[in-house]
Chains A and B, each alone.
Chain A
């Protein structure tokens, strides 16, 4: 044990002590309207001691610790999946199998599980949408939740004031969100990366503040409730038909009412929407615009010198990403039946960003995977819900250090020149 290692370890432990003590070691408490300082409980002191020892030991044995982490294999999906040629043949079968599975599965599990799956699908949609902006075009958008909100409130308001159906509002929500994306993007897309991030963050906050305070339009902090659920060709999924003369689903098929029908129906809609989004993105990546996004991400100056208008290209990515969020927002409002500005805070943008980053910017499979993890883990680890956000932040930092390219690095769909 070299003395410098020991010195480092003591130093690190000292820092940890300072950091921990004054924040966890003492607690501010209002003791009958007088602010007092309470010492931590014995249990907390033990945790602090454990934490400091961990820091001390990991610094002391830092070489061994590094070796240990280095030995953890980075997940290598290439080794798991079959070879490329076989993949090409297998792929259509795999995809069909997955789709069929997804359609059958909800009838076999509990309602709560299906509901969770629907939530996951929403996050998949959001992640894929943000992926266009961050992963494919390389623009850091921290206010993505604003477009989500636009989509949600569009449906809520149109349904409330004009009685428009969910299906009619879907394209409108997407379109309106796209418009907001265009209006925001147009002035700010030429800004440098970090500035763009902050401006989009600010924009997200502005939207939230406006939603919160424009009570006459948006209902303010109380939000909008009683939003209609989607119908299947006019068949409602409620116990009793809301409108005069309308039929409910269970009446039409002469079945008993079960709330499962509603939940499964919503799930199936979500699956449909996600499939549309995936198809759309796959096509885009093989079109000139997708190539332009990638080229722009690689070398903006070269793009400009070749006649590419970078603002227009960035704007297209931004707008498309925004419209996807609008799509998801409309569905979100329909599923919840009630929305309020509380659902559209910055943390949501951060979560969606985390999904994109975790999954591997640009990689659709990775993002689907990451969305599933991000939605399901908190459900599984209910007892740790207090620590959820803490671990979330930690996860982001750790991922950037360990594997910034994400869990499933993108496998580019290369355009091949077929030789004659």
Chain B
């Protein structure tokens, strides 16, 4: 029984009187692809926001590698190895692709004022390493040729890949993708498919994903959670979910 990478119990988020997330439970093991699906407005992004620290959950426990992270701030959680992408791609539009990748490695660089001003050997080495690391990941997502282009000038599909590469360069353990396939054509979706699988298999991280594209979800998920109106509805593997009458009743029909 592999140790749980992410163990979420009773996650609840209340905004005043509105209960957006109600007692959600999730478990993600190492090297797993887990999907979270549900009708629109089910609260899936809110779950992500709670897990990543953007919101402080009202109740519940979130354990990342046996460490409680519920209540920590977003940048603290990110440093612990949980990173996420956004529904609407959030790149630094006016900065180049390579600069986006460097900003993501901020804490791995020498940020000491004097080291930078004097260009000490340590500072230069860390910058060089960061560049190489960035180049490596850009090659993985096939954006190396665009390294010096402004991020805002990339196509939508390329921007999505850049966002994922930017997350990967922070050396995470768990990558959360919020509707990564939205707006992609079938070809790009297939490439995304392969990318996610390679992230799990070759780079040995786990992926938690919110998606509406059922073919993607059913095709690559090791485990699926269904949430409707903020409440857990069902969970299981693809076969179990496909046949679950509650799920079908809730919304299944997008193929």
Q: What's the nearest-Cβ distance from chain A to residue B154, in Å?
A: 15
- Residue in A303, A309, A316, A415 whose beta carbon sits within 8 Å of that of B102 in the complex: A415
Chain A residue nearest to B85 in the complex (CB): A305
Among B18-26, B103-111, B203-211, B247-255, the stretch in contact with A: B103-111
Interface residue? B55 (CB, 8 A): no
- Residue in A280, A284, A291 whose beta carbon sits within 8 Å of that of B99 in the complex: A291
Tell me, in angstroms, the Cα distance from A302 to B96 when the chains sit together. 15
**Known: A288-B111, A295-B95. Contact between A304 and B102, CB under 8 A?**
no
Chain B residue nearest to A308 in the complex (CB): B106
**B87-113 interface mask toward A, CB cutoff 8 Å, 1 = contact, 0 = none?**
000111111101110111011011101
- Residue in A301, A310, A415 whose beta carbon sits within 8 Å of that of B90 in the complex: A301
Chain A residues, CB < 8 A from B106: 288, 291-292, 306-308
Q: Interface size for chain A: under 10, 10 to 19, 20 to 34, or 35 or more residues?
A: 20 to 34
Interface residue? B147 (CB, 8 A): yes
- Residue in B78, B90, B102, B134 whose beta carbon sits within 8 Å of that of A288 in the complex: B102
Q: Is the CB of B94 within 8 A of A298?
A: yes
Most buried by A among B52, B79, B84, B106: B106
Q: Is the CB of B83 within 8 A of A306?
A: yes
Interface residue? A254 (CB, 8 A): no
Interface residue? A102 (CB, 8 A): no
Interface residue? A383 (CB, 8 A): no
How many residue pairs, one in A and one in B, have C-beta atoms under 8 Å apart?
Answer: 104
Q: Is the CB of A310 within 8 A of B109?
A: no
**A211-254 interface mask toward B, CB cutoff 8 Å, 1 = contact, 0 = none?**
00000000000000000000000000000000000000000000
Chain A residues, CB < 8 A from B93: 298-299
Tell me, in angstroms, the Cα distance from A208 to B80 when the chains sit together. 45
Within 8 A of B (CB), among A298-328: 298-299, 301-310, 316
Q: What's the nearest-Cβ distance from chain A to residue B46, in Å?
A: 15
Q: Is the CB of A302 within 8 A of B148?
A: no
Tell me, in angstroms, the Cα distance from A299 to B170 when the chains sit together. 17
Tell me, in angstroms, the Cα distance from A253 to B100 when the chains sit together. 57
Interface residue? B135 (CB, 8 A): yes
Interface residue? A414 (CB, 8 A): yes
Chain A residues, CB < 8 A from B166: 306
Interface residue? A405 (CB, 8 A): no
Q: Is the CB of B116 within 8 A of A283?
A: yes
Q: What's the nearest-Cβ distance from chain A to residue B73, in Å?
A: 8
Q: What's the nearest-Cβ distance from chain B to residue A324, in Å?
A: 13
Chain A residue nearest to B101 in the complex (CB): A417
Q: Is the CB of B103 within 8 A of A291?
A: yes
Chain A residue nearest to B53 in the complex (CB): A304
Interface residue? B74 (CB, 8 A): yes
Q: Interface size for chain B: under 10, 10 to 19, 20 to 34, or 35 or more residues?
A: 35 or more
Within 8 A of B (CB), among A20-58: none
Q: Is the CB of A417 within 8 A of B78?
A: no
Chain A residues, CB < 8 A from B116: 283-284, 287-289
**Known: A280-B117, A305-B78, A417-B135. Contact between A299 and B83, CB under 8 A?**
no
Tell me, in angstroms, the Cα distance from A295 to B107 when the chains sit together. 14
Within 8 A of A (CB), among B185-214: none
Within 8 A of B (CB), among A369-420: 412, 414-417, 419
Interface residue? A294 (CB, 8 A): yes
Q: Is the CB of A305 within 8 A of B83?
A: yes
Most buried by A among B83, B111, B166, B167: B111
Interface residue? B56 (CB, 8 A): no
Q: Is the CB of B103 within 8 A of A305?
A: no
Chain B residues, CB < 8 A from A299: 90-93
Chain B residues, CB < 8 A from A305: 52, 54, 74-75, 78, 83-84, 86, 90
**Known: A305-B83, A307-B106. Contact between A417 and B113, CB under 8 A?**
no
Q: What's the nearest-Cβ distance from chain A to residue B88, in Å?
A: 11
Chain B residues, CB < 8 A from A307: 75, 78-79, 83, 104, 106-107, 170
Chain A residues, CB < 8 A from B238: none
Tell me, in angstroms, the Cα distance from A303 to B78 when the chains sit together. 10
- Residue in B54, B84, B111, B148 whose beta carbon sits within 8 Å of that of A416 in the complex: B148
Chain B residues, CB < 8 A from A291: 95, 99, 102-103, 106
Chain A residues, CB < 8 A from B92: 294-295, 298-299, 302
Tell me, in angstroms, the Cα distance from A168 to B170 when the chains sit together. 43
- Residue in A284, A288, A306, A419 whose beta carbon sits within 8 Å of that of B170 in the complex: A306
Chain B residues, CB < 8 A from A280: 117
Chain B residues, CB < 8 A from A295: 92, 95, 100, 103
Chain B residue nearest to A294 in the complex (CB): B95
Chain A residues, CB < 8 A from B109: 288
Chain B residue nearest to A416 in the complex (CB): B148
Q: Is the CB of B103 within 8 A of A415?
A: no
Q: Is the CB of B103 within 8 A of A303?
A: yes
Chain B residue nearest to A289 in the complex (CB): B111
Tell me, in angstroms, the Cα distance from A303 to B109 when the chains sit together. 15
List 24 A-B residue pairs with CB atoms under 8 Å apart, sorted by A's residue number.
Answer: A283-B117, A288-B103, A288-B109, A288-B116, A289-B116, A291-B95, A291-B103, A292-B103, A292-B106, A294-B94, A302-B86, A304-B74, A305-B54, A305-B74, A305-B75, A305-B90, A306-B75, A306-B78, A307-B170, A308-B75, A308-B106, A310-B75, A412-B94, A415-B98
Other A-B contacts than A291-B95, A299-B93, 16 sampled, CB-CB below 8 A, are A284-B116, A288-B109, A291-B102, A294-B92, A294-B95, A298-B95, A299-B92, A301-B86, A304-B74, A305-B52, A305-B83, A306-B83, A306-B106, A310-B75, A412-B95, A417-B147
Task: Name B residues whose Cβ lies closer than 8 Å to a Cβ of A.
Answer: 52, 54, 73-75, 78-79, 83-84, 86, 90-96, 98-100, 102-104, 106-107, 109-111, 113, 116-117, 131, 134-135, 147-148, 166-167, 170
The 7 closest A-B CB pairs, nearest first, are A287-B116, A307-B78, A302-B90, A417-B147, A295-B103, A417-B98, A298-B92
